[in-house]
Amino acid sequence: MRLLAAALAALCVCGSALADDIVTMPTANQLKAGEVDAAVYYISLDYPDPQPQFIQYQTLYVGLTDKLELDAHRANVDKDKSSIVLVASYKLLSETASAPDLVFGLRNFNRATTTWNPAAKDKSEDMSAFLSAAKTFFFKPSIPGPPLVRVHLSLGTKDWTLFGEERHKGLFGGLQFLLTPWLGAVVQNDGTDTITGITIMPKGTGLTIKGGTFGDHTWVGISWRKDLF
């Protein structure tokens, strides 16, 4: 029981490192009541002209309760439509020694159009749903804390709100690592693209500096976490 209590305490300490957004992909990472996470991203697109060359992306995550979270995702796309997508998620189950975190969510419940592209314009307005699970495993079970890995698995319906491409359909997920208290890494697949990233978390700042690849594209970002209560 003492080891279990220590493990759960370590998860709470590491929560700020693990709960940051993974470039818009749904997960079971969820903020607690009063927590706010704001981030800015720049995604460099590997498309030939005259297609879009970049996306300026901003996210805001707000924990309304310990179970309910509301998110806003704003995309300013080169040569395309700017849009704001709203996401709501509810925690169905909290992680224990034997059970995962389990979260149900709705993406684009405001039904925003996110592209002028005729092939995807109407599809981008659709709301999508996801059911996400996540479980944390310690590399040294007798010493809870980094290094650790968080395993993600989600089941979703088609989402066309990013790049005008279908993603989050069926099974998707991956691995999120906390290697030290200030260094993390991620490798995941959202059903269309493989996402990789490195995260650096300067101690005592609430900041996370991150960057990586998104399919053939590259991205960099910085986020800031604050507990308002």
With left for phi above 0 and alpha for psi between -120 and 50, is residue 24 left, alpha or beta?
A: left
Spatial separation of the C-alpha atoms in residues 216 and 192, rounded to whole Å = 11
Spatial separation of the C-alpha atoms in residues 69 and 92, rounded to whole Å = 12
Q: Quick one: tokens of 193? A: 């693209």
With left for phi above 0 and alpha for psi between -120 and 50, is residue 173 left, alpha or beta?
A: left
Q: Tell me whether residue 214 is exposed, middle or buried, using C-beta atoms within 10 angstroms of its C-beta: 0 to 12, 13 to 18, 19 or more.
A: buried
Length of the chain: 229
**Scanning the structure block, which residue is given the tokens 């697949």?**
189
pLDDT in tens, the chain (229 residues): 444 344 444 444 444 444 455 667 999 999 999 999 999 999 999 999 999 999 999 999 999 999 999 999 999 999 999 999 999 999 999 999 899 999 999 999 999 999 999 999 999 999 999 999 999 999 987 777 899 999 999 999 999 999 999 999 999 999 999 999 999 999 999 999 999 999 999 999 999 999 999 999 999 999 999 998 8
CB atoms < 10 A from the CB of 224, how many? 14
Peptide bond preceding 50 in cis form (omega within 30 of 0): yes
pLDDT of residue 21: 57
pTM: 0.90
Number of domains in the chain: 1
CB atoms < 10 A from the CB of 194, how many? 13
Q: Quick one: tokens of 174? A: 């991956």
Select from 88, 178, 190, 172 the least CA-distant residue to 133.
172
Q: Quick one: tokens of 39? A: 């981030």
pLDDT of residue 17: 45
Q: How far is CA 211 from CA 14, 138, 143, in A?
A: 20, 24, 29
pLDDT tens-digit readout, 134-161:
999 999 877 778 999 999 999 999 999 9
CATH number at residue 166: 2.40.160.40
Spatial separation of the C-alpha atoms in residues 96 and 8, rounded to whole Å = 8
Q: Which residue range is the domain that position 145 belongs to?
A: 2-227
Q: Where are the beta strands (DSSP E) in 7-78?
A: 35-44, 54-63, 68-77
